[in-house]
Structure 1
Amino acid sequence: MVSAMAATDGIKLSSVEEAMFVDEVAAWPQKTTIQHWQLRDLVSCGDSDDEFYTVCGKQVVSFDTAVARAFAVQTLDYSPTSMTVGCGFLASGGQQSELTVTRLEDNSCVFNGVAGGTVNNALHIARGPNPGDVWLLVSNNDDTIKVLSLPGMVQLDTIFCSVAINYTAVSPCGSYMACVGDSRHAYLYSIKNGFNRITTYSEASDHGMCCSWNAAGNAFAAASQDGTVCVWDIRFGKVLAKFHSKEGACRVVKYTRGPHDLLAFSEHTSFVHVVDSRTYDRKQTIRLGDEDQEPHISGLAFSKDASHLFVGTEDCVVQYEVDSVGRRAFACGTINPR
């Protein structure tokens, strides 16, 4: 395995300009509940661009912004610590390894039981390397990543790690997997033929909380509890960019799935940042709530077409409209690590 240490590579903080990529259009009165003080990936989007999913108590609800109504999709016996939507499925996980999977097409239950281990820190649904593969990856506090097939829920593999894993994400091409956990490292796996760790990246000074791949599948971002988000180019094993929070830990980081080329990350409270992921030299900082408030952020997600960004707090979910015309008209560019 290769360890990459590259704190001085990539975009410098002093060269990042303030910009505006999104604008608030609505604050929907949908409460979200945070069950674990560190685990805050509780907002997700599916195939409908007008809809978001979030956790509220022992339910996972779908909120349709076109009609301003919430619908309960899952009513559970536990309060979820993790939740995700992808490939036509909704998955929720709990603090005692509870796992519930629903097929959204007909709202049928695919699985309701336990995955084994302890806290399900994060769930990720992705397409695997082979045609037709759909996987559910369960990041557990027992130092494992469990890989399950969907909809069959066959356990394909268990990846044993040296630390509790807080998040796992598969690249859009289905060739690589990144994960972060209770260490300062980010781990990169090749998954074309089994799960083989190929590189360990080291940049943060505290535990990793979330990771996300860009649409091209050649770079991923890792959010850490030390208040940094680091972007790694896997082709060169170098840092493309590194960003710092305004006040505290970074909890969630997400790329857009389409050609808008944006990266958003949330802090523990109050602040969300949106970055131009073509060049990483422009960033918008959004404050939620008034100056005398510190709302806890429960998660964020881009709609599938990247036209909207949804940010959850305990009292509401704020909807932002992405400047799609500006993003499509912006000249294409890339940054190469030095």
Structure 2
Amino acid sequence: MVGQQLYRNRYVLSAASYSLDVNIARSSKLFSSSVVNTYEFVNPSPRKHLQRTSWNHWQLRDVVLCPSQKPELYSIYRCNVDKYDIQKQQSTRILGDLDFDPVSLAIGGDFIVVGGQRAELAVARLSDPSSPTVVRSGGSINNFVALDPSQPVLPRRRFRDSAAFVEDGVTNLNIMSSNDMPRLLVCNNDHTVRLMSLPDLRIVTELKFPTAVNYAAISPDGAKMCVVGDSNEVFLFNKHGDDFEKIATLTASNDASFSCDWNQSSQLFAVGSQDGYATVWDIRSQQKMVQLETFQHGRSRGACRNVKFSPSGSIDLLAFSEHTSYVNVVDTRSFEKRQILRAGNPENAFDDDLGHSAPTSFLLPDSPSLLSQDLQITGLRFSSDSSALFVGLEESILEYAVDRIGRYSFSTSEII
């Protein structure tokens, strides 16, 4: 960790060391942010949705999607994909009893695609998901699948609002569109990223890398792509339709990376690494802005599995989840303020369908009463309007309300 040693309690930073670290950051353009847990960007008492999720690969934890402005979530549970109505609190099985263990999921336009650990791809239409087409895409684990968000995906009357992409699985999937033709982005353990047409799954473009690829994120403006995998390298591309031009290879931390994301202006991108760091760059300079260490540290519980920027409005937050139990929420206006959430803390969750909760006092995440059980985090996602942050657990999905009023208020700078 770059920077000065802090107090034994990592949540308290002395004024002297704070000033020193900030001065270093301003002069060097890179600093390792210290944990300060005195801010509440989201309500620490979440609403609990009894929607079960599961992770089918221990390092791939992005199985909860919120692909449109509709109040609904999609998630993986065992060999199934479920749609959950947030308002009605009802679950509907979209794809059931797949003959493989899905590890990634993408939704865009009228398409839903699921990727598996032996290069399986299941493709179906949301308007008629009863008969999915299942093929092998070649290679091995489809770590991530996504639909290209840069253009609208096959305009359809019932699903025209989702130009969304997803991440995870074959190592990863993403759905997008090029010249009104839907495109699927597939990240695979065989060292490739493939751009494929839908629904026929024809390979349009194939990019090869020196390592297994775990994740790829296309910027909201559709002009850039960030790719990470089983090394500490970060690959940047310009995107022109179906063509990609490599522009840089950067270095994140000292370990493999499993997630990346762009902010809504397409200027900042973040990478989450297994050794417990979320690293943020500015594309305009390709220089590291900040390196944020997870609360639990290191490659086991503290591995950074998922990073997500708030996608809309003047919210300006970055959330990143750890391997177990903890979610970090960071102010991207300065990267100097952070909130730590202990996901699944029974004292900080609504316990009835009406959203009522018992009175609670503020407890630091390292309070002994909160460390009784490690909880596996399966996914992390902001709603499309950035009003909520959803955190997937094995037994439920937690909905944290974002303090939008507080985020719309730009307070004067604080001097400590």
Would you say same fold, with TM above 0.5?
yes
Distance in 2 separating the partners of 1:202 and 1:234: 14
Question: Structure 2 vs 1, CA of residues 33 and 15 (structure 1 numbering), >3 Å: closer, same or farther?
Answer: closer
> Is the Cα contact below 8 Å between 1:127 and 1:133 reproduced in 2?
no
- What's the counterpart of residue 10 of structure 1? 30
Letter of the 1:100 partner, please give it.
Answer: A
| Closer/same/farther in 2, CA of residues 228 and 110 from structure 1, 3 Å limit | same
Q: CA deviation at 1:49?
A: 4.3
1:55 corresponds to which letter in structure 2?
A: I
Q: What whole-Å deviation, never above 9, does each CA across 1:215-243 have from its counterpart, x for those lacking one? A: 01111100000100000111101112210
Matched, 1:29 2:50: yes
* Residue equivalent to 1:3: none
Q: Which structure has the greater CA radius of gyration?
A: 2
Deviations along 1:52-93, one digit per CA (max 9) or x if unpaired, are: 111111101011121111111112211211113334432211
Higher RCO, Cα 8 Å, sep 6+ = 1
Q: How does 1:252-291 map to 2 (within 5 A)?
A: 252-259=306-313, 260-288=315-343, 289=345, 290-291=370-371
Once residues 30 and 142 of structure 1 are traced to their aligned partners in structure 2, the CA distance between those partners, rounded to angstroms, is: 33
Q: Deviations over 1:128-187 (max 9, x none)?
A: 475535432111000000112345533211111110000001111111110100101111
The separation in 1 between residues aligned to 2:412 and 2:105, in whole angstroms, is 34
2-side partners of 1:310 and 1:90: how far apart? 20
Matched residues in 1 for 2:29 and 2:181: separation? 36
Alpha carbons of 1:11 and 1:100: their partners in 2 closer, same or farther (altered >3 Å)? Answer: same
| 1:15-57 deviation line (CA, Å, top 9, x unaligned) | 9664211113311122211111111111111214421111111
Is the alpha carbon distance of 1:105 and 1:322 closer, same or farther for their aligned partners in structure 2, counting shifts above 3 Å? farther
CA distance 1:293–1:111, shift in 2 (3 Å): same
2:146 match: 124
- The 8 Å contact of residues 252 and 273 in structure 2, kept in 1 or not, is answered as no
Residue from 369, 379, 384 that aligns with 1:299:
379
Could you say which structure has the higher strand fraction? Answer: 1
Number of aligned positions between the proteins? 328
CA RMSD of aligned residues (A): 2.3
Going from structure 1 to structure 2, the CA distance change for 1:229 and 1:332 (only over 3 Å counts) comes to farther
Q: 1:140 maps to what in 2?
A: 188
Residue 213 (1) aligns with residue 213 (2)? no
2: CA distance between counterparts of 1:269 and 1:15? 18
The alignment partner of 1:226 has SS state of coil
2:71 equivalent in structure 1: 50
Matched, 1:19 2:73: no
Question: Given the two structures, how large is their TM-score scaled by the length of structure 1?
Answer: 0.90
Cα pair distance change 1:109/1:274, threshold 3 Å: farther
Moved more, 306-315 or 193-202: 193-202
**Following the alignment from structure 2 to structure 1, what is the Cα–Cα distance between the partners of residues 208 and 412?**
40
Q: After alignment, is 312-321 or 120-129 more displaced?
A: 120-129
Unmatched tracts of structure 1, length 5 or more: 1-5, 334-338
Q: Which residue of 2 aligns with 1:200?
A: 249
The answer (yes or no) to whether the contact 2:34–2:293 under 8 Å persists in 1 is no
8 Å CA contact 1:17, 1:281 repeated in 2 = no
How far apart, in 2, do the equivalents of 1:70 and 1:331 lie? 41
The 3 A distance-change label for structure 1 pair 109 and 149 is: farther
Distance 1:107 1:311 in 2: 26
CA separation of 1:69 and 1:162: change in aligned 2, threshold 3 A? same
